[in-house]
């Protein structure tokens, strides 16, 4: 009998109770939590996640279950209660929307000032599908990539998926992107992001890349694709109808002289262990693309040194390059997932100590905050006092990059805003300047 290639099936709030695995394995209370929290935060899984990743014998602790299924603790108790009550009392759609939107607006939907600071103006037009925060790198949000094969419960881009007005970054016109990059000679990298650009068909992705491929832009050296498709749907590169076409497109990018970096998002070693993902990784690497890996550190999913050690080791054995450990952003369900900065660093360090030099390419733990990407370097004692040592890995002002600085030690700090400058300083050095990249 011929083996049928798996066909992608999305499971959402509208149909999750009809799925046999969910029906059999979730308790009534867990289904209720999905139903309530799923009104506020986006929820989508698929048949690969359900069939091949989740360990159903380990609910609710299974990391992939936590990664993809809304949990009660993701909302504040009063918010959970009010949504549950509204559902129970048969509130109208309008009433429910009103309530849900009020809760969403309290979940800091635009962290790090993305909307205000990073959208460039080019030829008198605000380029709503582009973010340009760091001098060398431009982020591009294709119109058709504003979704993912499944949604991470911690996603910092959650407002895009719930349709909050005015929060979508999306651009149709890739020629404008090419013109913008050409006009900004310091830009060497473009990152295709979303959602997940690998939700697009190869022909659509090719249309976006075409202006960069038909004529090599001299200052552009690297094309990056930020994606979780290897974690959520590796069949994209195996059995989907356009699998080979997408891989040929990658080859074309490489042949054009660009470095193609596939920025793969993995949160747990489990996502690297299926035959499908191993094969998909091999196929991508065979195109000449390099796979770099990144993940946030999240309570309930990977807040243990072993989780990171195992993930980095496995990534290196599959030929991937560990790249970033991020810190949970100050948005959405942050209070459910966040790990204190100092503990993030301890976990990072313990994991780092247990891997070979080949995995020590990884940088972190890093906060993508308003002024830039800030790495926690560790705790240092000076005299009788402890301090947190930090530095910019990337910043709005290129002169800040690499500059170490200190904050007072605070074991309960979760984000930059929780820190105070060390040595009785009134401000951190970067707070005195309001540097914004000059745009054409």
- Closest approach, Cβ 168 to ligand SF4, in A, equals 13
What's the CA gap between 192 and 289, in Å, rounded? Answer: 14
Q: Which of 133, 228, 299, 329 binds ligand SF4 (CB under 6 A)?
A: 228
**Bridge-partner residues for 264, per DSSP?**
227, 293
Among positions 235-254, residues that touch ligand SF4 (CB under 6 A) are none
Residue 155 binds to ligand SF4 (criterion: CB under 6 A): yes
**DSSP of 383-433, one letter per residue?**
TTEEEEEEEEEEESSGGGBT-EEEEE--TT--SGGG--BSTT-SS-GGGG-
Residue 265 binds to ligand SF4 (criterion: CB under 6 A): yes
Please name the helix (run of DSSP H) or strand (run of DSSP E) that holds residue 11, with its range, or none: strand 10-12
- Closest approach, Cβ 46 to ligand SF4, in A, equals 12
- Closest approach, Cβ 42 to ligand SF4, in A, equals 7
Q: Which of 43, 140, 151, 262 binds ligand SF4 (CB under 6 A)?
A: 151
Residue 298 binds to ligand SF4 (criterion: CB under 6 A): no
- Closest approach, Cβ 194 to ligand SF4, in A, equals 6
- Closest approach, Cβ 367 to ligand SF4, in A, equals 16
What's the CA gap between 286 and 139, in Å, rounded? Answer: 26
Q: Distance of alpha carbon 37 from its chain centroid, rounded?
A: 20
CB nearer to ligand SF4: pick between 176 and 267: 267
Task: Select the span of 11-19, 152-160, 390-398, 427-435 touching ligand SF4 (CB under 6 A).
Answer: 152-160
Show Cβ contacts of residue 431 under 8 Å, excluding neighbours closer than 6 positions.
Answer: none
Show Cβ contacts of residue 273 under 8 Å, excluding neighbours closer than 6 positions.
Answer: 314
CB nearer to ligand SF4: pick between 155 and 260: 155
CB nearer to ligand SF4: pick between 30 and 267: 267
- Closest approach, Cβ 227 to ligand SF4, in A, equals 8
Among positions 129-148, residues that touch ligand SF4 (CB under 6 A) are 148
What's the CA gap between 437 and 395, in Å, rounded? Answer: 10
3 state SS of 7: coil
- Closest approach, Cβ 23 to ligand SF4, in A, equals 24
Among positions 191-210, residues that touch ligand SF4 (CB under 6 A) are 195-196
Contacts 24+ apart (CB under 8 A), 373-380: 374/416, 376/327, 376/341, 376/342, 376/344, 376/345, 376/348, 377/345, 377/404, 378/345, 378/349, 379/342, 379/345, 379/409, 380/406
For strand 372-382 and strand 363-368, is the pairing parallel, antiparallel, or unpaired? Answer: antiparallel
CB nearer to ligand SF4: pick between 211 and 231: 231
CB nearer to ligand SF4: pick between 158 and 387: 158
Contacting residues toward ligand SF4, per CB under 6 A: 148, 151-152, 155, 157, 195-196, 228, 265
């Amino acid at each position: 009998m011929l083996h049928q290639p798996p066909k992608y099936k999305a499971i959402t709030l509208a149909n999750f109770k009809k799925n046999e695995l969910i029906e059999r394995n979730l308790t009534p209370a867990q289904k209720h939590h999905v139903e309530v929290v799923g009104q506020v935060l986006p929820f989508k899984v698929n048949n690969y996640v359900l069939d091949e990743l989740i360990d159903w014998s380990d609910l609710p602790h299974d990391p992939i279950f936590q990664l993809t299924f809304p949990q009660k603790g993701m909302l504040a108790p009063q918010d959970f209660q009010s949504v549950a009550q509204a559902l129970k009392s048969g509130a109208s759609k309008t009433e429910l929307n009103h309530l849900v939107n009020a809760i969403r607006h309290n979940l800091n939907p635009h962290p790090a000032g993305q909307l205000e600071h990073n959208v460039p103006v080019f030829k008198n037009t605000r380029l709503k599908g582009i973010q340009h925060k760091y001098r060398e790198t431009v982020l591009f949000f294709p119109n058709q990539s504003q979704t993912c094969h499944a949604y991470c419960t911690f996603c910092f881009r959650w407002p895009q998926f719930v349709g909050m007005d005015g929060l979508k970054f999306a651009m149709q016109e890739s020629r404008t992107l090419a013109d913008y990059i050409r006009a900004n000679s310091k830009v060497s990298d473009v990152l295709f992001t979303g959602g997940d650009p690998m939700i697009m068909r190869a022909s659509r992705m090719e249309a976006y890349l075409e202006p960069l491929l038909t004529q090599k832009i001299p200052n552009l050296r690297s094309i990056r694709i930020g994606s979780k498709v290897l974690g959520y749907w590796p069949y994209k590169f195996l059995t989907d109808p356009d699998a080979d076409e997408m891989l040929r497109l990658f080859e074309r990018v490489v042949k054009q002289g660009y470095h193609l970096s596939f920025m793969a998002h993995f949160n747990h070693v489990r996502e690297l262990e299926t035959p499908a993902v191993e094969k998909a990784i091999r196929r991508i690497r065979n195109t000449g693309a390099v796979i770099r890996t990144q993940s946030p550190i999240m309570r309930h999913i990977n807040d243990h040194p072993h989780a990171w050690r195992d993930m980095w080791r496995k990534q290196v054995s599959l030929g991937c390059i560990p790249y970033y450990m991020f810190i949970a952003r100050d948005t959405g369900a942050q209070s459910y997932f966040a790990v204190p900065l100092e503990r993030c660093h301890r976990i990072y360090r313990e994991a780092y100590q247990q891997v070979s030099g080949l995995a020590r390419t990884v940088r972190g733990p890093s906060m993508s905050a308003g002024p830039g990407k800030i790495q926690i370097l560790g705790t240092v004692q000076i005299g009788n006092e402890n301090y947190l040592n930090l530095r910019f890995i990337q910043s709005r002002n290129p002169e800040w990059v690499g500059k170490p600085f200190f904050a007072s030690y605070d074991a309960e700090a979760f984000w930059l805003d929780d820190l105070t400058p060390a040595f009785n300083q009134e401000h951190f050095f970067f707070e005195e300047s309001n540097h914004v990249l000059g745009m054409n």
